[in-house]
Amino acid sequence: MSEWNPPRFNASCFVNPRLSPAETSLAAAAPGVVDEEGFARAVAEITRWPDYRPTPLVPLPGLAKTLGIGRLYYKDESGRFGLGAFKALGGAYAVLRHLQNVLGDEVTAADLVAGKYRARTSGITVTAATDGNHGKAVAWGARLFGCRAVIYLHQDVSEGRAQAIAAYGAEIRRIADNYDASVRACATDAAENGWQVISDTSWDGYQDVPRHVMHGYGVMLKEMLDQIPRGEELTHVFIQAGVGGLPAAVAGYLWLELDALRPKIVVVEPEKAACHYASAEAGHPVTVTGKLDTLMAGLACGEVSPLAWRLLDAAGFAFLKIPDDAAIFAMKTLAAGQSDDPPIVGGEAGVGGLAGLIAAAGDAEIKDSLLLTGQSRVLVIGSEGATDPVLYRQWVGRKPEDVLAA
């Protein structure tokens, strides 16, 4: 890819005035959200699953130079368990924890995979509402561990993503409304039928499962800390948000592991579904209404998860909202490679953090407010690959397999 200067997008930034001081403990700032024991249990469990392997942490020195920062690392989750996204770490792990709650903690994942309890698990139904990746993870986990899954999709989830979920044996139910309406329909039907909701968002009386989901995400963060060069200290993480489980897990894990040396967390959202941005401005959870019609479908959420918000309100250094064209630009930039950077396939929601970084680098005022300099060392998490290859080709102009073959 030829050299370019960071473009100017119509992005907005809000620096959090309620950010907890560096010396504050996570337990004091946001008690009961995530904890060391929960992360450790998830890591010990998931790393024993069939076909587990760490995903790569890819340095992008060419892009870092262009953006005017010191280092840039891209955690590429496109190969996670063959699902194309990081969500298996959360959704499938929460399915396992539910089955263990029903059958007993002595039941292992290996027992379930081997079908030892199939006579009992086959009568258990888990359900979830999804923009795509979380539902696929729940469906995959249900098939892996031997129970039934019913997945709710809102009207804007592509048919390609619906088919990918159905391929794991899940029953698909469409809701003619947005994501938040599908969450409510899922919860209502679950209550009527005795199903277990496996959601990455929380509500009054429902927090254990979203907590399991966030703890599962800790696997990729442990991998990242193991992979980053010795002595390298991150200064920033730009991380995309839907309901908030991913950025809260990132912020919580790094807070617990790095304490006062933790990096600045910049939460990135589509401008048409920026519920965290609106909540940060208001100082309390705010619901964003309307169609939420962003092409970053995996981030099209109008309500924050209250559990995740409790942590992000204390841990989010800043909140950034970006237009859809920033995501397309980030996808194309990754696919082409900058200077000698390797080409990478990143999906439209998965590149949200990188798109936010590019938008910030192209706006001097935002760049200064985020304290980005030539010495900054930044992590972005590529949370999905081309989970809908048809849409990927439409926006990037190339097939994902051609990008990877370059």
Give 3: exposed, middle or buried? Use CB within 10 Å, 0-12, 13-18, 19+: exposed
Q: How far is 357 from 373, CA to CA, in rounded Å?
A: 12
Which DSSP symbol is given to 371?
A: T
Q: Which two tokens stand for residue 45?
A: 């469990």
Do residues 211 and 245 touch, judged by C-beta distance below 8 A?
no
User: What is the token pair recorded at 155?
Assistant: 């009207």
- Kindly report the number of other CB atoms within 10 A of residue 236's CB atom: 24
| Strands 12-15 and 316-322, sheet pairing | antiparallel
Is residue 341 among the annotated active site residues?
Answer: no
Distance separating alpha carbons of residues 75 and 250, to the nearest angstrom: 12
Max Cα distance, the chain (Å): 61
Locate the DSSP E strands across 246-356: 264-270, 316-322
- Joined tokens for residue 273: 């579904």
DSSP H stretches of helix in 151-274: 159-166, 179-193, 208-227, 245-258
131 is catalytic: yes
**Per-residue CA distances from 331 to 19, 153, 343, 391 (Å):** 31, 25, 10, 12
**CA 242, CA 201: separation in Å to the nearest integer?**
9
The single residue of 87, 136, 264, 321 carrying the catalytic annotation is 87
Neighbour count for residue 22 (Cβ, 10 Å): 10
Catalytic residue among 75, 76, 131, 388: 131
Q: DSSP class of residue 318?
A: E
Enzyme catalytic residues? 87, 131
